[in-house]
Amino acid sequence: MKYLLACALLLPTFVFAAGTAPTKAVVCQACHGEGGGKGMMAGYPMLKGQDEQYLVNAMNAYKNGGRKGGMAAVMAGQAMGLSDAEIKELAAYYAGQ
Ligand code: HEC
């Protein structure tokens, strides 16, 4: 019984530790795939393993309207809501996938 209780208490800790994805990555996943591994359709790029600084630059460019054309408008709407800290965190996460 004690053992079972210990397991029940420890389990959520492990689940949390495994899920190191930033909170906002749940939103990105809808279009860029889990871990940024696959865009949901043509024109939706994968982010997995991309250069970290490049990802920061790209998100900032969408956010400040510097990146246009293609499907940029779709992504601009997403980038608007990201803080500098979130951009850094997300870039590090996807670069590390
Ligand atoms: C509604 C769909 C959608 C969502 C949600 C979304 N994106 Fe995007 N994203 C796109 C599309 C489409 C593009 C390509 C835009 C273009 O043509 O420039 C893109 C492009 C990007 C790029 C540029 C990739 C490159 O190689 O230049 C980055 C970085 C990016 N998204 C990050 C994110 C992050 C981080 C999130 C979550 C906060 C997110 N996106 C959420 C649709 C989405």
Quick one: pLDDT at residue 20? Answer: 79
Q: Name the DSSP class of 94.
A: H
What gap in Å lies between CA 69 and CA 97, rounded to an integer? 27
Find, among 89, 8, 1, 9, the residue nearest to 52 by Cα: 89
Question: Model confidence over 14-42: pLDDT tens digits?
Answer: 444 445 799 999 999 999 999 999 999 99
Domains annotated for the chain, with CATH where assigned, are 21-95 (1.10.760.10)
Q: Is 58 in the pocket of ligand 1 (CB under 6 A)?
A: yes
Q: Is 32 in the pocket of ligand 1 (CB under 6 A)?
A: yes
Q: Is 90 in the pocket of ligand 1 (CB under 6 A)?
A: yes
Distance between Cα 10 and ligand 1 center (Å): 36
What gap in Å lies between CA 61 and CA 35, rounded to an integer? 22
User: Please, which residues have CB within 8 angstroms of residue 38's CB and are 6 or more apart in sequence?
Assistant: 32, 46
Quick one: pLDDT at residue 97? Answer: 96
Quick one: pLDDT at residue 26? Answer: 95
Question: Model confidence over 29-82: pLDDT tens digits?
Answer: 999 999 999 999 999 999 999 999 999 999 999 999 999 999 999 999 999 999
